[in-house]
Amino acid sequence: MKWVSRPALLALSVLGMILWGAVGIADPPVASAAQHLEEFFKPQQERGEYFKQFERPGEAKPIATWDRPIGGYIEVEGKMDSRLFVVVIAVGIILLNGLGAWFPKVFNVALVRALTSIGVILIGWEAITYLGWVTSVLLPGPTAVFAKLIAQWERGYIQIHVYYSVRRLLTAFLIAIGTGIPLGFLIANFRRFADYIDPLFNLIRVVPPPAWLPLAILWFGIGDPPSIYIIWLGAFFPILLNTIRGVKNTQQIHVESILNLGGNRLDVFRRVMLPSAFPTIVTGVRVGFGIGWICLVTAELVAVDAGLGWMIDDARTLLDTPTVLGGMVLISALGIIFDVLLRKGEAAIVRW
Amino acid sequence: MPANVLHAENVRKIFYVYTDPAGTTVVSSKKQFSLNLWRRRSIYELLALDDISLEVYPNELVALLGPSGCGKSTLLRIFAGLERPTSGRVAFKDQEIKDPDPQRAMVFQSERAVFPWLTVEKNIELGPKLQGVPRAEREERVRRIIELIQLNGFNKAYPATLSGGMLQRVAVGRALINRPEVLLMDEPFGALDAITRNTLQDHLIRIWQETRQTIVFVTHDIEEATYLATRVVIMHPRPGRIKGVVPISLSHPRSRTDSAFIEARRKVADLLGD
């Protein structure tokens, strides 16, 4: 990779992300509901290969494809051992706490405590399901959830849905940043423009984005566009409002300084407003990302036919509770990963 | 008599003060005729400067001394081009002052004027950068300025990690790197503690002796004015007028306990107290 410079690589990956998103918008709907119904109403013996895959629940075979991310119940044969799980976690907790007490400089105390509380919850959860205090259909234990997650991963099911969700999110998010930040600068700098456009935005802003779902489905059909629209709505306003706030917080003394040093109006924008608004804008981006993530899953429960939200809702219809819970674990993990990435990015750029 | 650098003739400055129904006070240079009573109300005029005439000559260190509200900062901002006089004439080397110019470099009262998102080096470098000075020369100038303000080793430090006194030195360096004809300082040491202030006064005297830079210096501290200035312009408030001018011919660096210094200081205080 010696001949590829780092900025070029970065630019390429950003370009790739945008193209990826654009393809996502252009994709036709992937489900074949008509085919499904046609086969369903045929007599049993005339049903083709298509339905047979649902009739053999014993086999975990990769029926989901990139074009057709349709689920279907799979039975997981080799389950994890509940008792082993509990013992491993318990020993882990004890070891971590012991080591944390002996070597407080090596082991992050806060992290040890966090892992301890998670471990205790996992043990309790596994125990009540193992002892049969709750029905495993309504609340399967962590071992069942992890086993199912691994099985779904092996047949390529999870990867497909994560791919669709993340692509959708990034597309909507890039659009939200690309519209929110420039509009914020315009509104903060041009009083007349703000007077015209502020009331409109305030009217739209108070409508919760999911309330747009029915209309969005009517406008755009089922698939990526309505969900991208919903996510954009969710992410746009925090970014916009924080940009406005950041620009308005620009210190008069900084503007006067740059003018006094020989700067023109462009320099005021580029060298004063942009950097002094930047930390606030980043906060807006992070808040927008959180809300966009909520909107993504909400939209996917209704308006799409692939993605993590769709995956857990589809699993619900099949009473496949381990996949529902596993999907929620994935959603939480991805949300945390994105938030950490944004924080790192902020810390790397805002050094003052 | 050498040609003057700054020239003010019969300068008047009126501010119009408005109060929003929300309670926010707005001070504006423009009289705003608004029918919208919700937005602007209770207009009154504030005569900040009344009939000011002043000349500043090359290599002088002029102090504008007066209590707060006497318009000394306003006069300085008019010289900097950040405000326009309501009437009268201000000129910089026989040209009317209309806009801010790096030739009339300003050091603000607050050390927050230093850009917090730039390192010390970049803050100082900004002026020449805006004027398109080539990189090599810029670096050389920055090096010399950092030497002059004695902040070697802090080139890459962000302002958040520096003390108030160091920040004011950065502000002075940022102004001096443009090689201004006149340096305008608006109570630059007012926000600092007495010990740091004394150190920075000595720094300023050293810089002034090295560069023979023309300096106009605003202060409300009699001792500071006497200690630094070659000429003290005494102003009084409501409306802002010049009360008198005291030339101080003592040589720098001065001693605060010298009898001649105390005599000069008494003269300034007497004129101020009338």
pLDDT of residue A333: 93
Higher pLDDT, A152 or A178: A178
Would you state the torsion angle of the CA atoms of residues B86, B88, B94, B97, taken in this order, to the nearest 10 degrees? -10
Is A253 in contact with B112 (Cβ distance < 8 A)?
Answer: yes
Q: What is the reported pLDDT for A293?
A: 92
Q: Check if A272 contacts B (Cβ < 8 Å).
A: yes
Q: Are A275 and B117 in contact (CB < 8 Å)? A: yes
Say if residues B90 and B79 touch (Cβ distance below 8 Å): yes
Q: What is the CATH number of domain B51-103+182-273?
A: 3.40.50.300
Indicate the pLDDT class of residue A241, thresholds 50, 70 and 90.
very high
Q: How far is B73 from chain A (nearest CA, A)?
A: 14
Q: Does A251 touch chain B (CB under 8 A)?
A: yes
pLDDT per residue as tens digits for the range B24-33: 777 777 776 6
Helix (H/G/I), strand (E/B), else coil: B30: coil
A288 shares a domain with A267 = yes
- Most B CBs within 10 A among A248, A252, A254, A260, hence the mutation to make, goes to A260
Q: From A107, A138, A154, give the residue that closes a domain.
A: A154
Q: What is the token pair recorded at B246?
A: 């005291």
Asked if residue A11 is part of any domain, the answer here is: no
In a domain, A39, yes or no: no
| Residues A229 and A144 occupy one common structural domain | no
* pLDDT, averaged across chain B: 80
pLDDT at A238: 93
Domain co-membership, A144 together with A168: no
User: Is the model more confident about A276 or about B40?
Assistant: A276
Q: For A275, which residue in chain B has the nearest alpha carbon?
A: B117
CA angle B16, B17, B22 (to 5 degrees): 145
Average pLDDT estimate for A200-208 = 90
**Residue A215 belongs to some domain of the structure:** yes
Query: What HEC string does chain A produce?
Result: CCCCCHHHHHHHHHHHHHHHHHHHHHCCCCCCHHHHHHHHCCCHHHCCHHHHHHHCCCCCCCCCCCCCCCCCCCCCCCCCCHHHHHHHHHHHHHHHHHHHHHCCCCCCHHHHHHHHHHHHHHHHHHHHHHCCCCCCCCCCCHHHHHHHHHHHHHCCHHHHHHHHHHHHHHHHHHHHHHHHHHHHHHHHHCHHHHHHHHHHHHHHHCCCHHHHHHHHHHHHCCCHHHHHHHHHHHHHHHHHHHHHHHHHCCCHHHHHHHHHCCCCHHHHHHHHHHHHHHHHHHHHHHHHHHHHHHHHHHHHHHCCCCCHHHHHHHHHHCCCHHHHHHHHHHHHHHHHHHHHHHHHHHHHHCCC
3-class SS of residue B178: coil
Show the CA angle centred on residue A230, arms to residues A225 and A231, nearest 5°: 95
Q: Which is higher by pLDDT, B219 or B5?
A: B219
B113 CA: distance to closest CA in chain A (Å): 6
- Residue located via tokens 């023309």: B214
Determine whether the interchain pair B113/A351 forms a contact, defined as Cβ–Cβ distance below 8 Å.
no
The predicted-structure confidence for A136-170, as pLDDT tens digits, reads as follows: 888 888 988 988 888 888 877 888 888 889 988 99
Helix axes B120-130, B164-176, angle to 10 degrees: 20
The domain spanning residue A321 has which CATH number? 1.10.3720.10
Lowest mean pLDDT among A49-58, A193-202, B51-60, B82-91: A49-58
* Range in A135-144, A192-201, B5-14, B131-140 with the lowest mean pLDDT: B5-14
Q: Which residue type occupies A146?
A: F
The verdict on residue A50 lying in a domain is no
In this complex, which of A261, A263, A352 lies closest to B116 when CB atoms are compared? A352
Looking at per-residue pLDDT, the higher value among A240 and B203 belongs to: A240
How far is A213 from A39, CA to CA, in rounded Å?
31
Q: Is B84 on the interface with A (CB under 8 A)?
A: no
| Together in a domain, A206 and A344 | yes
> What value of ipTM does the predicted structure carry?
0.83
Please answer yes or no on whether B130 and A261 come within 8 Å at the CB atom: yes
Residues of A in contact with B116 (CB under 8 A): 352
Taking residues B230-244, what's their average pLDDT? 82
pLDDT at B208: 83
- Domain shared by A127 and A162, yes or no: no
Question: Quick check: is A282 in a domain?
Answer: yes
Give the C-alpha distances (Å, rounded to integers) separating B45 from B31, B84, B136, B207, B238. Answer: 9, 16, 51, 41, 12
Question: Are both A178 and A89 inside the same structural domain?
Answer: no
Whole-structure pTM value? 0.74
Do A275 and A216 lie in a common domain? yes
CB contact under 8 A, B160 and A276: no
Q: Provide the shortest C-alpha distance from residue A330 to chain B (in Å).
A: 38
pLDDT digit string, tens, across residues A330-344 = 999 999 999 899 888
pLDDT band at A57 (very low <50, low <70, confident <90, very high): very low
Residues A119 and A167 grouped into a single domain: no
pLDDT in tens, B103-158: 888 888 887 888 888 888 888 888 888 888 888 888 888 888 888 777 788 888 88
Q: How many domains does chain A have?
A: 2
Rg (CA), chain A: 25
Same domain, yes or no, for A143 and A164? Answer: no
Position A62 scores a pLDDT of 45
- Residue A10 located in a structural domain: no
Query: Which residue from B47, B20, B19, B43 is spatially nearest to B33, judged by alpha carbons?
Result: B43
pLDDT at residue B212 in the model? 82
A and B: number of Cβ contacts within 8 A? 61
| Nearest Cβ partner for B117 among A253, A258, A352 | A352
Please tell me the distance from the alpha carbon of residue B159 to that of residue B143, in angstroms, as a whole number.
18
Domain ranges of chain B: 51-103+182-273, 112-179
Nearest CA in chain A to B183: A260
Of A256, A263, A278, the CB nearest to B82: A256
Q: Any CB–CB contact under 8 A between A256 and chain B?
A: yes
Token pair listed for B196: 């740091």
- A-chain residues near B102 (CB < 8 A): 260-262
**pLDDT tens column, B37-81:** 555 555 677 778 888 888 888 888 888 888 877 788 888 888 888
Q: CA quadruple A282, A284, A287, A293: dihedral positive or negative?
A: negative
B80 interfacial to chain A (CB closer than 8 Å): yes
**Cβ of A257 and B159 within 8 Å?**
no
Residue B271 CA to chain centroid, in angstroms? 22
What pLDDT sits at residue A61?
46
A47: left (phi over 0), alpha (psi -120 to 50) or beta: beta
Same domain, A207 and A334: yes
Check residue A59 and give its pLDDT. Answer: 44
Q: For A20-42, write each residue's pLDDT tens digit.
A: 655 554 444 444 455 555 555 56
Q: Is B90 touching A (CB cutoff 8 A)?
A: no
A173 and A318 housed in the same domain: yes
pLDDT of residue A60: 44
Domain range enclosing A99 = 82-154
The answer to whether residue A264 sits within a structural domain is yes
pLDDT at residue A36, as a whole number:
53
Taking the Cβ of residue B9 and every Cβ of chain A, the question of whether any pair is shorter than 8 Å is answered with no
- Would the CB atoms of B159 and A352 count as touching at under 8 Å? yes
Q: Which one, of B89, B116, B114, B115, lies nearest residue B10 by Cα?
A: B89
Domain boundary among A102, A128, A154: A154
d(CA B21, CA B42) in angstroms, rounded, equals 9
Interatomic CA distance for residues B186 and B116, integer angstroms: 20
B139 Cα distance to chain centroid:
26
Query: Hey, which of A88-102, B2-16, B248-262 has the most confident mean pLDDT?
Result: A88-102
Across chain A, mean pLDDT equals 80
What is the pLDDT confidence band of residue A237, given thresholds at 50, 70 and 90? Answer: very high
A287 in contact with chain B, both atoms CB, cutoff 8 A:
no
Q: Do A307 and A173 share a structural domain?
A: yes
A122 φ, ψ (degrees, to nearest 5) = -60, -45
- Residues of chain A in contact with residue B81, where contact means CB-CB under 8 angstroms, are 260
Q: Residues near A324 by Cβ (< 8 Å), separated by ≥ 6? A: A312, A315, A316
Query: Quick check: is A137 in a domain?
Result: yes
Cis peptide before A29 (omega within 30 of 0): no
In this predicted structure, the answer to whether residue A315 has a pLDDT above a threshold of 80 is yes
Give the number of other CB atoms < 10 A from CB of residue A177. 19
* pLDDT for res A45: 55
